[in-house]
């Protein structure tokens, strides 16, 4: 005999109730259903992810059976499905007074609290639910972890997952869930431990190998990360995410030829991937193959002209080869598509500098700094440009602000020393020069050209000799 549910012995009886309700809805009739029948109807729609019909059934059930606790519990569940946590919490609290110790009420209440952001309160009530029915812990724990996972409270899942893992040691999926939760918590070492343990039980899980690759990449263990991605690809050659991530690691390690091989493989599988085409183009650029870099940047643009990165890539391609005038149009296009990107503005500023358009360069650098006040290169370039125009006092104001923001950046202090020399403030010039040399004396030769020889003191000249 099948397990009895809702007072029904056979699933066919449940199906008959659903059909009657559906017929009533279609024909806009009025029919009577008892509490058990409404329970079956509401659960059917909730399990089928149809909260609209579930709400409709619940509303009718509440009219016919206003004092039914099981119906009110389902009303709370329906409200939770619709995101109306406050209303669900109100109902749960009222039901708790009527029927204390009801596990289902506790689960509704805790879910509502979690949705409202009260995690300590939710955990307290979840624990009460576990205490009420110790014989059904597994089922309750599945409900708790499901709620927390859906709400992205991964860290809060961990204690409950540990209990599940102890209760069901032969079910390795709990180890997988623990690994994922620890990753979300930021405890990467423990995440690796659980993924590794899980893979001892299920070595053919390509998703676990893939996730392990991500974790190793986060820890900086790039060799193990690539190895994990290779396992994932061996088990599932269609895992293009693993291909893409592997290529990115190789590129970041400046193994551009190896990276290109993997990017090409990825692009064959995902020919419309803008990121894949763009990164492949970047690798060709790094290896000096301008023609192929331009080819793939252009392919990306042809697919989606509104994607800014390949435009930016084309601009850098020309800029790095001393063709600044040619770089301006694609750089401006990138900015048009993404005006909030400070790198785009900075590169356009460099292009204007190289073409002699100082005014536009300053405007671009100021825009860069308005988007990212910690953009060290922009601070330095702005100072240099202002000094080029003879605006030494203005340069000092800019560079002093830069020093406050950027901290101990030696280039800023070299520039300040130069600016102070030009304005005749030898004391401040010497102080900033000494500080710059202490931070990085190897930069002295690079910045020496900005220091007016005729205004150097004997002490400053001795400093030069000492560091050379």
pLDDT range class, residue 35, cuts 50, 70, 90? confident
281/78: higher pLDDT: 281
pLDDT tops 90 at residue 443: no
Q: What is the pLDDT of residues 100-124, one digit of tens each?
A: 999 999 999 999 999 999 999 999 9
pLDDT range class, residue 3, cuts 50, 70, 90? very low
pLDDT at 9: 38
What value does the mean pLDDT of the chain take? 90
pLDDT at 1: 31
Cβ neighbours around 446 below 10 Å, total? 12
* Mean pLDDT score, 259-273: 96
Nearest to 270, CA basis, from 247, 235, 243: 243
Cα–Cα–Cα angle for 195, 201, 207, nearest 5°? 50
pLDDT at 452: 76
Q: Structure pTM?
A: 0.79
pLDDT at 50: 86
* Mean pLDDT score, 205-214: 97
pLDDT at 464: 64
26/213: higher pLDDT: 213
pLDDT range class, residue 263, cuts 50, 70, 90? very high
pLDDT at 62: 83
pLDDT range class, residue 44, cuts 50, 70, 90? confident
Q: What is the pLDDT of residues 267-319, one digit of tens each?
A: 999 999 999 999 999 999 999 999 999 999 999 999 999 999 999 999 999 99
What residues contact 428, with CB distance under 8 A and at least 6 apart? 416, 420
pLDDT tops 90 at residue 406: no
191/27: higher pLDDT: 191
How far is CA 313 from its chain centroid? Answer: 23
pLDDT range class, residue 10, cuts 50, 70, 90? very low
Q: What is the pLDDT of residues 126-154, one digit of tens each?
A: 999 999 988 899 999 999 999 999 999 99
pLDDT at 110: 95
pLDDT tops 60 at residue 353: yes
* Mean pLDDT score, 368-384: 91
pLDDT at 316: 97
Rounded distance, CA 412 to CA 374, Å? 13
Using CA atoms, how far residue 222 sits from 182, 249, 276, 468, in Å, is 20, 7, 20, 39
Residues of the chain above pLDDT 90, percent = 63
Q: Over 272-323, what HEC string results? A: CCHHHHHHHHHHHHHCCCHHHHHHHHHHHHHHCCCCHHHHHHHHHHHHCCCC
Pull the structure tokens for residue 388. Answer: 């080029």
Cβ neighbours around 404 below 10 Å, total? 9
- Token look-up 């050209």 returns 449
* Mean pLDDT score, 33-53: 85
Residues of the chain above pLDDT 70, percent = 96
pLDDT at 454: 75
Q: What is the pLDDT of residues 223-243, one digit of tens each?
A: 999 999 999 999 999 999 999
Pull the structure tokens for residue 248. Answer: 């990115």
Rounded distance, CA 60 to CA 78, Å? 13
pLDDT tops 70 at residue 195: yes
pLDDT at 6: 52
Q: What crossing angle do the helices spanning 222-235 and 206-219 adopt, rounded to 10°?
A: 170
Q: Is-contact 383 395, C-beta < 8 A?
A: yes
* Mean pLDDT score, 351-355: 96
pLDDT at 467: 60
């Amino acid at each position: 005999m099948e397990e009895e549910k809702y007072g029904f012995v056979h699933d066919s009886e449940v199906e008959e109730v659903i059909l009657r309700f559906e017929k009533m809805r279609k024909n806009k009739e009025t029919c009577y259903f008892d509490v058990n029948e409404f329970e079956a109807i509401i659960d059917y729609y909730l399990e089928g992810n149809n909260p609209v019909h579930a709400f409709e059934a619940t509303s009718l059930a509440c009219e016919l059976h206003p004092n039914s606790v099981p119906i009110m519990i389902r009303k709370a569940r329906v409200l939770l499905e619709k995101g109306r946590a406050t209303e669900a919490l109100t109902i749960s609290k009222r039901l708790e007074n009527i029927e204390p110790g009801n596990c289902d009420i506790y689960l509704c209440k805790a879910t509502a609290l979690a949705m409202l952001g009260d995690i300590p309160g939710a955990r307290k009530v979840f624990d009460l639910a576990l205490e009420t029915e110790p014989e059904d812990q597994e089922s309750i724990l599945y409900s708790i972890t499901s709620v927390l996972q859906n709400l992205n409270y991964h860290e809060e899942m961990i204690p409950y997952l540990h209990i599940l893992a102890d209760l069901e040691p032969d079910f390795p999926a709990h180890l997988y869930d623990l690994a994922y939760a620890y990753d979300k918590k930021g405890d990467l070492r423990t995440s690796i431990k659980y993924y590794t343990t899980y893979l001892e039980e299920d070595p053919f899980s390509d998703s676990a190998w893939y996730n392990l690759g991500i974790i190793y990449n986060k820890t900086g263990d790039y060799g193990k990360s690539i190895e994990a991605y290779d396992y994932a690809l061996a088990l599932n050659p269609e895992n293009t995410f693993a291909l893409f991530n592997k290529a990115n690691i190789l590129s970041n390690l400046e193994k551009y030829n190896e990276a290109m091989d993997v990017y090409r493989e990825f692009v064959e599988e995902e020919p419309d991937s803008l990121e894949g085409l763009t990164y492949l183009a970047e690798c060709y650029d790094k290896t000096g193959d301008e023609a192929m870099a331009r080819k793939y940047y252009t392919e990306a643009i042809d697919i989606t002209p509104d994607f800014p990165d390949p435009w930016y890539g084309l601009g850098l391609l020309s800029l790095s080869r001393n063709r600044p005038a040619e770089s301006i149009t694609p750089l401006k296009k990138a900015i048009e598509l993404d005006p909030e990107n400070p790198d785009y503005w900075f590169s356009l500023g460099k292009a204007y500098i190289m073409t002699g358009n100082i005014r536009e360069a300053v405007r671009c650098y100021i825009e860069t700094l308005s988007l990212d006040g910690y953009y060290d290169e922009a601070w330095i370039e702005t100072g240099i440009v202002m000094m080029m125009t003879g605006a030494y006092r203005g340069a000092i104001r800019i560079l002093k602000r830069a020093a406050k923001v950027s901290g101990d950046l030696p280039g800023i202090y070299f520039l300040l020393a130069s600016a102070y020399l030009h304005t005749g403030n030898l004391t401040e010039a010497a102080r900033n020069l000494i500080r710059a040399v202490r931070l990085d004396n190897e930069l002295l030769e690079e910045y020496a050209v900005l220091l007016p020889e005729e205004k150097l003191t004997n002490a400053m000249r001795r400093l030069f000799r000492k560091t050379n």
